[in-house]
Structure 1
Amino acid sequence: MTYRPLVVRVRYATLVATLVTAGLVAGVLPAAHAANRPATKHSTDKVAEAIGGALPANGVARVNNVVITQDQLDQAMRATNAPDTPALRTSIKNQLIARELFRQAAEKQHYESRPQVVAAIEQAKTAAMTAAYLRDQVKPVPVTDADVKSKYDAIVGTLGESEYKPSAIAVKDADTAQTVLTQLKKGTDFSQLAKQYSQGPGAAQGGALNWISFKTPIQPGNTQNWPQPLAEALVKLPQGGVSSAPVQVGDVYWILRVDEKRPTQIPQYDQIKDALRKQLEQVALEKATAQVVVDLMKNARIQQQ
């Protein structure tokens, strides 16, 4: 496939996304419980009565006077994205107990009034309030099946008979580009030179780029977001061919190589329609969000330096 849709995924924070002491808690709390385990079942009942009676129906633990509920445990379990096992549930429950112990100890010492805590609370409040506002105000235009099919057809219409697997070296000055070309002519490995000199995409991977196809002759706007001079240079190279001279785009000098060339492979519509829909939905979301910003700016006084 020559087209790779950009799918922006939005991820929300979860109850136990990161617990710094997870490993410590899982290992230490059971041992602490064992060291302080009541001698008999009767003594356990007396302790429960002393701190507020038996656990409520939905409770899995009580830390002093605070009940940890089954819903909290279930939510924390889902956040792990791991198989639900008794051992993991015990570990997660211990982590929740430890977190509540930390919270109570911090509250007892009035950490809530510390400047960094107040600032963090305000930031969290602002983020939650903003997210709720945007959910209510941003109304993206629904993406229809016809929209998705039209996008698919438009992409296919930009593809040529052949597709290319290129590598590229991008440098900031002509002298460095000439140095690279000279070393290539001496037989130095392209990938090695890309890692050493390139400041362009894929440099850490030896300059390797994704498969790409262009309808020829190259037309403005039908270059799969490639600069037109690069697209024109690429389609002229045979498989294994390397640019004989740098291709200048703005202030960057590019050296291209065609690692592979093959007839264009177009996936069936059903194979990529879901990915295309997500891309279109993201575009619609961004457009609707931008409109909300524009509307708010109309009645706002904004000063900038």
Structure 2
Amino acid sequence: MKAKFSRMWVAASVFAALSVAPPAMAAKQGAKTDSKADVRTDARTDGRATAPRPLPADAVASVNGVTIPKVSVDTMVKASGQPDSPQLRELFKGQLIANELLRQAAQKQHYEARPEVQAALEAAKTMIVTRAYMAEHLNAAPVSDADVKAKYDAVVATLGENEYHASAIAVRDPAVAQTVLDELRKGNDFAALARQYSQGPNAAQGGQLNWVSFKTPITAGNTQSWPQPIAEALVKLPKGGVSAEPLKVGDQFWILRMDDRRATQIPKFEDSAPLLRKQLEQVAMEKATAQVIGELVKNARIQQ
């Protein structure tokens, strides 16, 4: 029982922070708020207790007179994305009970009056109000099927005949870069050296980069956002080859290894469409947000 309650307590802390359907809302629906009333027994004149009173039909529990409505559990089940089951409902009911216990304990000690709590409540209120305003005033352009297909075609058009899988070590000191190259020439492991020295992407994963495809010969602006010197060096490396010298890019020195190459595998449109649509919708949302803020800035007096 202690282990079960411990899990319930930890989970409750998470849901308390998220404020998922707080059962305290039931108080607005006529639930009792007297902490002495939640024993759910009636005192008899002879000092003995009567049987517990039944819960309301729309409640799953009561905590010191505050009912926890079934709709709160329903909401949590839906939000979890998990298959509905009695076990899952019992878990969420336990979390709501613990959540309500914590709420009542904090209320008894007047935590809501603490300055840091008031500040957090004000910040949460501001965020909710802002989101409500944005929801009503954003006019993001809808993304059509034609938009998604055009984006897919544009991406495919940037791909070359081959795609490459590489690993990279990027450092800021040329002496360190030379040390890494010397270690590689001695046969030391590239991934281990990347984890030890690299300040570049995916260092913790041994410097492994995602598959990428370039049209060749490499031209400016057609490098899939890779630095052009890196792209040019990569396509010239044989499989298993390592760059002979560090490649200077900005304030970093890169060492590349060609892990593999293959004919470009173009994903089907049906597989790519959901992700592309999401990306386009995000762009449309950002553009609409910028327009709303721009209009507000025009009509505001801002002193900095």
Give the TM interval when normalised to the shorter protein.
0.7 to 0.9
Over 3 Å counting, the alpha-carbon distance change for 1:79 and 1:149 in structure 2 is closer
Aligned-partner Cα distance in 2 for 1:146–1:79: 32
**Which letter maps to 1:192?**
A
Structure 1 residues 111 and 269 mapped into 2: Cα distance closer, same or farther (>3 Å)? same
Specify the alignment match of 1:19 in structure 2.
12
Is the 2:169–2:207 contact (alpha carbons within 8 Å) kept by the matching residues of 1?
yes
- Aligned match of 1:293: 293
Map residues 151-300 of structure 1 onto 2, 5 A cutoff. Answer: 151-300=151-300
What secondary structure sits across from 1:187 in the alignment? Answer: coil
TM-score by length of structure 1 reads 0.80
Matched residues in 2 for 1:177 and 1:240: separation?
Answer: 19
Counterpart CA distance in 1 for 2:49 and 2:211 is 67
Q: Which amino acid aligns with 1:211?
A: W
Question: How much does 1:131 deviate?
Answer: 1.1
Shift of 1:45: 6.3
CA distance in 2, matches of 1:59, 1:166: 58
CA gap 1:291/1:212 in 2 versus in 1, 3 angstroms: same
The Cα shift of 1:302 comes to 3.3
- Which residue is equivalent to 2:33? none
Cα distance in 2 for partners of 1:257, 1:56 equals 68
Q: Which has the higher contact order (CA 8 A, sep 6+)?
A: 1
SS at match of 1:209: coil
**Residue 259 of structure 1, CA deviation:** 0.3
- Report if aligned partners of 1:163, 1:264 keep a CA contact under 8 Å in 2: yes
1:162-183 Cα deviation digits (max 9, x unpaired): 1100000101122111111122
Instruction: Give secondary structure in 2 for the equivalent of 1:20.
Output: helix
| Counterpart amino acid of residue 103 in structure 1 | R
Is contact 1:17-1:79 (8 Å) kept?
no
RMSD of the alignment, in Å?
2.4
In structure 2, do the counterparts of structure 1 residues 111 and 98 end up closer, same or farther at CA, with 3 Å as the change threshold? same
User: Where does 1:125-164 land on structure 2 (aligned, <5 Å)?
Assistant: 125-164=125-164
Q: What are the equivalent positions in structure 2 for 1:103-142 lying under 5 Å apart?
A: 103-142=103-142
Looking at structure 2, the residues matched to 228 and 37 of structure 1 have their Cα atoms a distance apart, in angstroms, of 73
1:40-98 Cα shifts (integer Å, max 9, x gaps): xxx986542xxxxx433312222233221110121123344444332332332233223
Identity %: 60
SS at match of 1:216: coil
| Cα deviations by residue, 1:182-238 (Å, 9 ceiling, x for unpaired) | 221222211111111110001111110000010011122111110111111111111
Distance 1:289 1:18, change over 3 A: farther
Q: Which runs of 4+ in 1 moved over 6 A?
A: none
User: Structure 2 CA distance, aligned partners of 1:95 and 1:230?
Assistant: 52
Structure 2: 5+ residue stretches without partners:
1-8, 16-38, 42-47
Q: Is the 2:76–2:92 contact (alpha carbons within 8 Å) kept by the matching residues of 1? A: yes
8 Å CA contact 2:13–2:99 kept in 1: the answer is no
SS at match of 1:207: coil
TM-score (norm 2): 0.80
SS at match of 2:196: helix
Q: What's the offset of the Cα at 1:148?
A: 1.0
Instruction: Count residues with an aligned counterpart.
Output: 267
For 1:270 and 1:219, the matched residues in 2 are separated by 30
Distance 1:176 1:90 in 2: 57
Kept in 2, the 8 Å contact 1:163–1:213? The answer is yes
Q: Mark the CA change 1:226 to 1:18 in structure 2 (over 3 Å): closer, same or farther.
A: farther
